[in-house]
Amino acid sequence: MGKVAVGATVVCAAAVCAASVYIVRRRMQSSGKWARVIEILRVLEEDCATPIGKLRQVADAMTVEMHAGLASEGGSKLKMLISYVDNLPSGEEHGFFYALDLGGTNFRVMRVLLGGKQGRVVKQEAKEVSIPPHLMTSGSDELFNFIAEALANFVATEGEDFHLPEGRQRELGFTFSFPVKQTSLSSGTLIKWTKGFSIEDTVGQDVVGALVKAMERVGLDMNVTALVNDTVGTLAGGRYYNPDVVAAVILGTGTNAAYVERAHAIPKWHGLLPKSGEMVINMEWGNFRSSHLPLTEYDHLLDFDSLNPGEQILEKIISGMYLGEILRRVLLKMADEAAFFGDSVPPKLRIPFIIRTPNMSAMHSDTSPDLKVVGSKLKDILEVPTTSLKMRKVVVSLCDIIACRGARLSAAGIYGILKKLGRDAPKDGETQKSVIAMDGGLFEHYTQFSECMESSLKELLGDEASDSVEVIHSNDGSGVGAALLAASHSQYLDDSQTS
């Protein structure tokens, strides 16, 4: 019995020893893995750093590219497109105007009743229409016939409030959110379809002409007064309510900026100088790139894997389409190299764009003591059943690094526009106010992003200059903004009804 007992004791002691060695090793491994997590986090923070000096370099590079893009076609990564909008709304406009907003699988038709300075937007009505999938790949006539019929049906529901004076044509602002080469205020040729549309016979054609012919086919008498981009529409909407608006920025799924330029400062403009002396420029700033942009390994890979490598670099690091995807790529590296989610990588984490920016915003905004929202989002999206508090804290840190870089670079872009306009510093004896009209879900709903952007803009401007710069939310540029541009460029402007 004694021998057995001794043997058992020896075996038991050996087992205990092996178990404790295993535990120590696991702890060492786990502390080694955690160190790797922290290292990945540290490198990301360094690579995304946007100290004020770097932001100034980015703003200066933006200003240089703006000058180059205005000097000649193709002279810059910034297209600096001439919008032909030389008469922004003043608030004096009267009458009623239509808008058509085509930018995806749905389109909106809208009418807006304007009552001058006192009434402003007296009334607006809108209807959203889904485009049947087969029309997105059929012929040009079929698509535009469908749109014209929906517009005619909407016109047929005009109430008593929307009274058209005798002998006048209805007027429409057409927001067309696809790449177009604008040839006048009310004409532009389609460069290419995006967003799932593929209608070959429209490419290279005037999209306003296609709409007008379709309206004629359904017996609708309406003048397309303005073909507009949603960013230019946001600028129009902002200026309608505030005469100090000088630029508009969209921060949503994508990003863009438009601003009011002095017409004589556009060397590539060869037409007559407009009476107003001004011209709205659609920058297409998502395509900006510079050696001063703080790019990471994740950005380079995301760009390489995208449908348009080498293009839209600024958009890929600041817009809502991509912020959540950058977060996914960092988490995947942590899972692969440091077993962040345990011994196996969650299969869902390998799916591109599975983490959407609204989910990132919800995690970033989590103020609960145990970061409950972060835990539930990781469970819902990635099917990770449990996460520790320190893991959740890492996720919040990642959100902060990625969002703040985007927000600070957005601020640098705005500062670059203000520099181009000579509005980045106070002028002796002058009290010029500069207002930036903002729109887009990222700006509107991601609080940490918009707050970081605004504080960074103040930091760049300094106390004195920042007192004269204001950022405001200007909603629905693609709808109301388009109708306002139809009003400010109306063929009846000399008529007392619209002046």
Round to whole Å and give the CA distance between 378 and 402. 18
CA–CA dist 333, 355 (Å, integer): 15
Distance CA 171, CA 44 (A): 52
Give catalytic status of residue 230 as yes or no. Answer: yes
Active-site residue, from 86, 101, 206, 230: 230
Give yes or no: 195 in active site. Answer: yes
Q: Which two tokens stand for residue 352?
A: 């591109």
One of 117, 161, 192, 195 is an active-site residue; which one? 195
* 439 Cβ neighbours under 8 A, 6+ residues apart: 234, 248, 249, 250, 251, 252, 473, 474, 475, 476, 477
So which residues are the catalytic ones?
195, 230
